[in-house]
Structure 1
Amino acid sequence: MGGCGSKVLDNTKLGKHHFDFQIIIGEGGFGKVNAVISRLKKTEDGKDQWYAIKTMAKKQILKKSNNHGLDMLFNERNLLVDLKSDFLINMHHCFQDDDSCYIVMDLMLGGDLRFHMARRDFFNENDARFYIALCALSLRACHKNWIIHRDVKPDNIVLGPDGYAKLTDFGISVRISEETPYCTLGSGTKPYMAPEMLSHSHKHGLTADIYMLGIMAFELLTGRRPYKEGVKKDTVRWVEECMTNDDLTDELPYAHKPTLPEAKFKLSEACTSFISGCLEPRPWARLATGTDAEWDSFKKHAYFEGFDWVNAEAHNATAYPAPVTPNKDTANCDTVGNNLVDTLMGEEKQERLTPEEQEKFADYDYM
């Protein structure tokens, strides 16, 4: 399947001709993601080297108002240059041609958690705990580098062939700092957003990701999100008031305490305590993974009693197998039409960019 260009490859500049494009495994706002085979390298044991390539049409990127598309493109590229972890989708290269920008990333054909949730309705506590812990490891990799992911949800947790998971999609992620430990952007997926993200100021820090982890945890365990309409508006106003007045109170009024709807099967006290700790409306009192002390406390929560953090962190699937074993004969995704000729991004005739427009992508390449 696939194949393009001559057998004698020009290796001076990476391009699309260095890869054999296979099926589409994802589609998004700017383009598509294909599984690809490298024509430049093999694995250590001489097998085909597979990657995923995200293809983004430049014209679509430039159509976003106020340079928002360009900002997202370069934001993701710049963050992934620095971020490397077994629990994150790692970027290997970025390149471009006249029509499109390309990111070469780890290939994960095990499907995302949303795909697997649709096939089993909900996860039991042990199985859910495994993926909640791996997501926490992903967030720890981000947070210790002062990066807020800002879009934690089952769609962005993808599985490898061994069932282990990685966090993906850094398009709206933000790097903050110890000096300015918050951002004020209002973007995100609303049903998962923390109260402080929904306030007028949108001022939020690393623990906003933990709130989203709590929403996702409840969804994994019950097949539904805890709040149909999102967090209560009164709670959003109260949190913003406290933060504006620098009133980091130890008291949480009863009216603002997180209340979880009844699950189909009763959740354990430790599990409920963990989810409530993630869904704590006060960002300063929420569970956290940023500092070493916070991460140590997070791992010691009663919900993780008996969880094998050592083998999980070592990504040792032999000693600590994942609860989901993806079907290795399929892409485990719901893409419409996987015909290469019909759906390969960039094969259609694209509207030409002006030299001034092309110049905006000048610093994109990463080898």
Structure 2
Amino acid sequence: MGTASSSEARHYQPSEKEVDISHFEIGIAIGSGAFGKVRTCTHKMSKTKYAIKYMSKAEVIRRGCTRHVLNERKLLEEAKHPFIVNLRYAFKDDENLVFVLDLRLGGDLRFHLNYKGAFPEYRARFYFAEIACALEYLHSLNIAHRDVKPENILLDGDGHATLTDFNVARYYSDDKPMNSRTGTARYMAPEVVKKEEYLEEVDWWSLAVTTYEMMYRHAPFRSHDKDELHQQILNDSVYFPNGAVAVSDAAKVLLSGMLVKDRTQRLGPRVNGGTERLKGQLWLQGINWVDVVNKRIPVPFVPDVS
């Protein structure tokens, strides 16, 4: 698990000294980031389509984010996986830093939740499995994403899930844990809220919150008041409402195990049996994980990217 497909590995990738904007035909705007627009582009030689992300140097400096952007580039240069929006090229011009990334036009999970409502359980399970593979791979490199949420999970044209936005991702180690309150409040683990030391456990908490939201359309802890939200995360038990949404007991048991306040007892982290124990849970039994990472599991939904 964890290697890019052969077609991805064959992409033409000139050295940084060779590549520049002239290698690409620039297409339409498909979004905007914190520092500039994101457009489609086509590599002139390979004819491969990508997303090109412009980041204004002046804006990056003005916001004091130079270290964050350089760190994101370093992480993405190392990490390559089928369920990550991979960095394919990086260069700069007089005004911008430029990332050329995998193109994902299927929309993010937030869009699909808002458009059609909660997902059937089998669909949530499919996305869970793919993002779990991405996290397992990142954690093998000692990289914590720290902002797993529906907005940061994009579908490709075939309906597979990919993790994006590594702006707050960080390297970690046992002797160099993290302790900053970073990420999106609704998806923060208790140890992040309390600014305690933490490792990769926070990503499994966030994936559980995201998966709960896929099936119920709302997060397990929610409030417009940040202090109240923090208190819910720290003190409240996970509540599974009864009603029109049918969620299996096996799913509830898995999510409850991943949403344990004590990070050393949480399902997913290596301190508590790692992904081997996670994959042994009833809700995930029967999944062929080699088939998952090789994209051989039938997709539950194909987005319209026309």
Q: TM-score range by the shorter chain?
A: 0.7 to 0.9
**Superposed CA RMSD:** 2.0
Distance 1:291 1:89, change over 3 A: farther
In 2, distance between residues paired with 1:188 and 1:260? 24
Is residue 297 of structure 2 the alignment partner of residue 324 of structure 1?
no
Work out whether residues 109 and 159 of structure 1, in 8 Å CA contact, stay in contact via their aligned partners in 2: yes
Residue 179 of structure 2 corresponds to which residue in structure 1?
184
Pick one of 220, 231, 234 that aligns with 1:233.
Answer: 231
3-state DSSP class of the match of 1:284? helix
Pick one of 286, 300, 311 that aligns with 2:280.
Answer: 300
Residue 222 of structure 1 corresponds to which residue in structure 2?
216
User: How do residues 39-78 of structure 1 correspond to structure 2 at under 5 angstroms?
Assistant: 39=44, 41-42=45-46, 48-64=47-63, 67=64, 69-78=65-74
User: How do residues 283-298 of structure 1 correspond to structure 2 at under 5 angstroms?
Assistant: 283-290=263-270, 293-298=273-278
Pick one of 251, 258, 262 that aligns with 1:282.
Answer: 262
Is residue 160 of structure 2 the alignment partner of residue 164 of structure 1?
yes
Distance 1:24 1:83, change over 3 A: same
Deviations 1:135-166 (A, max 9, x none): 11111111111111000001111111111111
- Whose relative contact order is higher, 1 or 2, with alpha carbons under 8 Å and at least 6 apart? 1
Superposition deviation, residue 52 in structure 1: 1.1
3-state DSSP class of the match of 1:226? coil
User: How do residues 13-162 of structure 1 correspond to structure 2 at under 5 angstroms?
Assistant: 13-39=18-44, 41-42=45-46, 48-64=47-63, 67=64, 69-162=65-158
Work out whether residues 220 and 238 of structure 2, in 8 Å CA contact, stay in contact via their aligned partners in 1: no
In 1, distance between residues paired with 2:236 and 2:116? 33
Superposition deviation, residue 12 in structure 1: 5.8
Looking at CA atoms only, which structure, 1 or 2, has the larger radius of gyration? 1
Partner amino acid, structure 1, of 2:51: A
Residue 173 of structure 1 corresponds to which residue in structure 2?
169
Partner amino acid, structure 2, of 1:216: T
Pick one of 190, 193, 206 that aligns with 1:195.
Answer: 190
TM-score, normalised to structure 1, is 0.74
Superposition deviation, residue 291 in structure 1: 7.6
Deviations 1:334-357 (A, max 9, x none): xxxxxxxxxxxxxxxxxxxxxxxx
Q: Which has the higher helix share?
A: 2
3-state DSSP class of the match of 2:151? helix
Deviations 1:57-113 (A, max 9, x none): 11110111xx3x101110100101111111111111110011100011111111111
Work out whether residues 189 and 233 of structure 2, in 8 Å CA contact, stay in contact via their aligned partners in 1: no
Partner amino acid, structure 1, of 2:248: S
What's the % identity of the aligned pairs?
32
Distance 1:226 1:86, change over 3 A: same
3-state DSSP class of the match of 1:115? helix
In 2, distance between residues paired with 1:227 and 1:263? 18
Distance 1:94 1:291, change over 3 A: farther
Distance 1:290 1:111, change over 3 A: farther
3-state DSSP class of the match of 1:30? coil
In 1, distance between residues paired with 2:193 and 2:303? 36
Unaligned runs of 5+ in 1: 1-10, 43-47, 237-254, 330-367
Counting matched residue pairs gives 287
Superposition deviation, residue 256 in structure 1: 5.2
Superposition deviation, residue 210 in structure 1: 0.8
3-state DSSP class of the match of 2:263? coil
